[in-house]
Structure 1
Amino acid sequence: MHMRRFIVGVDGSLPARAATRWAIAHAREHEAEVRLVLVADDEWGVVGTGLIDEVDEDARQRLDGELRFARALASDLPISGELRSGSPMVVLASLSDADVMVVVGTHKTGFHYGRAFGSRSLQLANLAAGPVAVVPEAESRLRRGVVVGLDDTVAGGAALDVAADLACDHHCELIIVRSSHATEPFRTDRDDEAQDWQLRRDDVARGLLATAIERVRRRQRDINVRARVVRRPPGIALNEIARSAELLVIGDSRREAPQPGALGSVAYDVLLNLSSPTIIVHAPAVVDAGVRQEGEHHAVG
């Protein structure tokens, strides 16, 4: 995975600062540029022009402050800023691409409307054409390793490839997790039948993991790989296992290509209960370059 640009959604909050720090660290690895984007929510259009001017001026000042913060962290990187108007998550999603990662911070609770992106990262992950990173405010430098959730979709395969590349870049272990949990349990009154049914599901999961390890070895032969079968629901298990990891990678297994609609159930569960920096990967898709991006924008810096 190579990213040419990291787009960071900023709003002056502490989670946004965490997202900026995370994006800068990863941009260095890719020798990529960083662009801070502050979106003035277009719901201000219902108020008078005088108040709109005040909001715009406040947004410009906040963006200038975020640029100063970012450049103080990384004077060696190309860092620019944009002020846009529109629906924040829709505008940020319109900037995504296969080699452009959109990064936002979160308080995890989703109750800080107007201050942090919170649960609105669900909307962003659903609409974006390229990878999305959601970074919790409380980051720890003691985190180590990359965790990836395994499924048998195109997006799941893309997530596995991204996770393998990241583990190689970071010189750390890759942990592949497959859940044998069933949404609809096997109905029987006999314990031995239920146990046999679960063991068969475990064996299928191990087979998928063996195939995944082969794929990873072909792509990154030198990394250390571990595989785990879990019987818990995948979203819960992934957040628990990734609690001490530096990255969790998941595929949006709901779809084969970017399209409006509800986010896949595992991605949804993970994002609502985030425990670590998480990257959501979509199935590869060709994005129409002629589609107009939403929102007015002004380059800064």
Structure 2
Amino acid sequence: MTITPVVTVGIDGSESARAALDWAVEYARAHGASLRLVNGLELPEPSPAYTPYPIGDVRDAVEKEACEALDAARTRVHETAPEVEVTTAVVAHPPVPALLEASGHSALLVVGCHGWGEFAGLFLGSVSASVTAHAACPVVVVRGDGAGRTAAPVVVGVHGSGDEDATLETAFGEAARRRVPLVAVSAWSDVTLENAAGAIVGAWPTWDRLREEAGHRLEATLRPWRDKYPSLHVGTMVVRDRPAAALLDRSAEAQLLVVGSRGRGGFAGMRLGSVPRRLVHHAHCPVLVVRHAEE
């Protein structure tokens, strides 16, 4: 029996959530997945002394608004991709715990780049930040205009730590499915001391040598994936820059940026490394954060 993967989308009626929904629809259509649209209720704290409205009326109004947002989202899916199965859920929990609970039963969680509610001017609202750091499945934060660059490459950040098979599997698969090139980016300015260990006596490694060594590591990391996807055009970039800065630059010309949840130097207790955290705040295209197997 084949189990249909579920893609969960956070819905709140905002433009940011609609962008996330549109991205998720295309992903679900391409992957043969179903969609689950979730709206978590952010109910006000009971304080009858400070509101002219009964708490029950406020709760009913919030729930009504959530249902209307989900109905509109479901209609949008039916109009654009009638073949995609859709279910909806209003969850009697705030958005973060609602989406985190849903992530345990999802193949992918998709959210917009702004927070729930009226604070759309905030970069990466608290909901998106929390679910990216703590979800049990990969998370896509839909931001920028990269989703419209259908001929643009998929970009993947490679740090060469040896524990990024899940990240590379996702990146190669997405590029192959979209029939676009894959660009693997490795930034090497922060590996100087790592490569220079033991070089206190003798010549300090030159930047040219560090760049060459970083390039060799990158090619070795990619080799088994090139063999698995022989028809996929794979480009590489080894740059003298901080990883986040290098990937942000590339995101301006990409349709999707794929990164692991932890970068070089991460540890098991770190749910979201500094590089993916900065990317989901500032990238110019959707960012797919892949979880490590042990997380």
* Same fold per superposition (TM over 0.5): yes
CA contact (8 A) 1:6 1:103 kept: yes
- Gapped runs of 5+ residues in structure 1? 187-192, 287-301
The one-character-per-residue Cα deviations of 1:242-291 (angstroms, maximum 9, x if unpaired) are 2121111000126576x6x56201111111112101100011248xxxxx
**1:92 correspondence with 2:99:** yes
Q: Which one of 110, 118, 126 corresponds to residue 124 of structure 2?
A: 118
* 1:37 paired residue number: 38
- Equivalent of 1:243, from 237, 244, 252? 252
Structure 2 gap segments, 5+ residues each: 48-54, 197-202
Q: CA deviation at 1:204?
A: 2.5
AA in 2 matched with 1:23: A
Residues 262 and 252 of structure 1, relative CA distance in 2, 3 Å threshold: closer
What is aligned with 2:200? none
Q: Distance in 1 between matches of 2:212 and 2:4?
A: 37
Of residues 67, 71, 81, the one that matches 2:78 is: 71
Larger CA deviation: 16-25 vs 145-154:
145-154
Task: Give the corresponding residue for 1:293.
Answer: none
**Counterpart position of 2:226:** 217
Q: CA deviation at 1:99?
A: 5.8
Match of 1:281 among 270, 273, 290: 290
> Which residue is equivalent to 2:170?
162
Give 1:93 shift: 2.1
Instruction: Tell me the CA shift for residue 169 of structure 1.
Output: 0.8
Q: Retained in 2: the 8 A contact 1:247–1:276?
A: yes
Q: Give CA-to-partner distance per residue, 1:194-253, whole Å, 9 cap, x none.
A: 7x4322321231122111220212332221111110111111110211212111100012
Deviations 1:155-176 (A, max 9, x none): 5331111101111111111110
TM score, norm. by length of structure 1: 0.81
Distance 2:112 2:22 in 1: 10
Kept in 2: contact 1:16–1:105 (CA 8 A): yes
Query: Which residue pairs with 2:183 in the alignment?
Result: 175
Matched-pair contact (CA < 8 Å) for 1:145–1:175: yes
Residue 169 to residue 117, structure 1, CA distance change in 2 (3 Å): same
Which structure's CA Rg is the greater one?
2
Q: Percent identity?
A: 26
- Equivalences, count: 274
What RMSD in Å do the two structures reach over aligned CA positions? 2.9
